Amino acid sequence: MREANSAIGITSLVQRAQAGDRAAFEQIYHENVGRVYAICLRILANADRAQEMTQAVFVRAWEMLGGFRGDSAFSSWLYRLAVNVVLVDLRAKKRRTARVMVTDDLSVYDRGEATPAPGSTIDLERAMAQLPEQARTVFVLYDIEGYQHQEIAALLGVAEGTSKAQLHRARRLLREILER
Partner 1 sequence: MNCDYKNFLQDFFDGVLAAAEHAAVEQHLAACDACRQELQFLQTLRGQVSQLPASIAPPRNLWPEIAARLEPKKSLWQTWLTDLRQHKNGAAESLQDLFKRDESKSVPWWSWGLRGAFALAVLIVAVGGIWLFVQTRQASWPVARLAGAPQIDAINFADAGQLQVGEWLETDDSSRAKISIGMIGTVEIAPQTRIRLVKADLMDHRLALARGKLHAEIWAPPRIFFVETASALAVDLGCEYTLEMNDEGFGFLHVMKGYVALESKKGPESVVPAGALCEIRPNLGAGTPYSENASENLRTALAHCDLASDRSDAVSTVLSEAREADTFTLWHLLFRVDPTERPRVYDRMTELISPPAGVTRAGILQGDRRMLELWADKFGLGQSWWRYWLPL
Contact between 177 and partner 1 by CB under 8 A: the answer reads no
From first CA to last CA, the distance across the chain in angstroms is 48
- Which residue in 11, 64, 73, 168 binds partner 1 (CB under 8 A)? 168
- Residue 42, H or E segment: helix 22-44
Nearer to partner 1, 94 or 164 (CB): 164
User: Shortest gap between Cβ of 156 and partner 1 (angstroms)?
Assistant: 15
Residue 113 CA from chain centroid, whole number: 23
Q: Are 65 and 90 contacting, i.e. CB atoms less than 8 angstroms apart?
A: no
- Which residue in 29, 89, 129, 134 binds partner 1 (CB under 8 A)? 29
Nearer to partner 1, 35 or 91 (CB): 35
Q: Are 131 and 139 contacting, i.e. CB atoms less than 8 angstroms apart?
A: yes
Which residues in the 126-155 window bind partner 1 by CB under 8 A?
143-144, 148-150
Q: Are 130 and 177 contacting, i.e. CB atoms less than 8 angstroms apart?
A: yes
Nearest alpha-carbon partner for 163 in 177, 175, 151: 151
Cα–Cα distance measured from residue 116 to residue 78, given in angstroms and rounded to the nearest whole number: 31
Q: Are 124 and 175 contacting, i.e. CB atoms less than 8 angstroms apart?
A: no
**Binding string, residues 92-111; x marks residues near partner 1 by CB under 8 A:** -------------------x
Nearer to partner 1, 100 or 146 (CB): 146
- Around Cβ 159, how many Cβ atoms within 10 Å? 11
Which residues in the 46-75 window bind partner 1 by CB under 8 A?
47, 50-51, 54-55, 58-59, 62-63, 66
Binding residues for partner 1, rule: CB under 8 A, are 18-20, 22, 25-26, 29-30, 33-35, 37-38, 41, 47, 50-51, 54-55, 58-59, 62-63, 66, 111, 119, 121, 124-125, 143-144, 148-150, 160-161, 164, 167-168, 171, 174-175
